A and B are shown apart, each in its own frame.
Chain A
Amino acid sequence: MRWFWIDRFIEFEAGSHAKAVKNVSLAEEHMHDHFPGFPIMPTSLMLEGMAQTGGILLGKTHEFEHIVILAKVPKITYHSWVSPGESIVYHATLNEARDEGGSVECTAKVGDRLVAEAEIVFVHLDQSDPELGKIDQKNFVFSSGLLDILEVGKAGDGT
């Protein structure tokens, strides 16, 4: 399985905000364990979706010059759950974008229903940083693979 927790951007305003969609499907293996007889999208993976939406938004402000790492989630609240067949829209708003890192506020909605809201803090790391080797790559918000979402996330009608 690829570590992609958003399917496509539907809005991307560099330096301001971004919206991404995640379509939840019963074909996803983990849904059958989470939970047997009551499949719902794991909240931790919704956080990952919000971090990917916000992390790419932050990364773009420096043209992906830095590695963006999810560093801290000062606040997160889940209000509801998401079932297969539903589409989550993550809406990230950039609060801070500095050389050393940044932060976003993010919501997750299904239609008008608010599912989750979070504040996420990221730090930047550079390839040359001696600390780089010590960090598990799973903490990287995006890799070149995930960035392809920015390129391929177009609908059949070209929008």
Chain B
Amino acid sequence: MSSSEEIFEKVQETLVDALGVDDEDVTPEATLVGDLGAESIDFLDIVFRLEKNFDVKIPRGELFPENLAAADAGFVDDGKITEKGLSELRVRMPHANVDKLAEAPQVENLQDLFTVEFIVKFVENKLNQ
């Protein structure tokens, strides 16, 4: 089984290839969208590369859930994620720092859940399954 450090290094390499960023930019706390400039299409590319580099299967929506801010689900109210939405996030993204989001639950902060560390934890969990 790979150590966390090995997984981090491979995730780092994956993100360098997918996003064209430098090694040193890919720190554990870096956010994919805000810090590393990822766009929505990059998420699909990242999933492809993680599958290949770690030899795992990542079904659609498992790493990057879709329709998180869908208006009709009652997860968002007045530009903020509701308690119901936060609980849903804790279920669907168990490796994300939802507590931090809960401190400032504006919808625009949702993308900050996707950090490098979040991907490392996700992969770690996948490999342990």
Contact = CB atoms under 8 A, between A and B. Distances in A.
Which secondary structure characterizes the binding site on chain B? helix
B45 interface: yes
Contacts of A54: none
Given A74-B18, A96-B48, A103-B48, A121 B60 contact: no
B110 interface: no
A72 B41 CA distance: 7
Q: How large is the interface on B (under 10, 10 to 19, 20 to 34, 35 or more residues)?
A: 10 to 19
Contacts of A100: 44, 60
Given A74-B17, A103-B48, A123 B60 contact: no
Contact of A95 (B42, B48, B60): B48
8 contacts: A74-B17, A96-B51, A98-B60, A99-B60, A100-B44, A100-B60, A101-B44, A121-B45
Interface of A: 71-72, 74-75, 95-96, 98-101, 103, 121, 123
Q: Can you list the 10 inter-chain pairs with the closest CB atoms, starting with the nearest? A: A71-B41, A96-B48, A121-B45, A72-B41, A101-B44, A103-B48, A100-B60, A72-B45, A74-B45, A99-B60
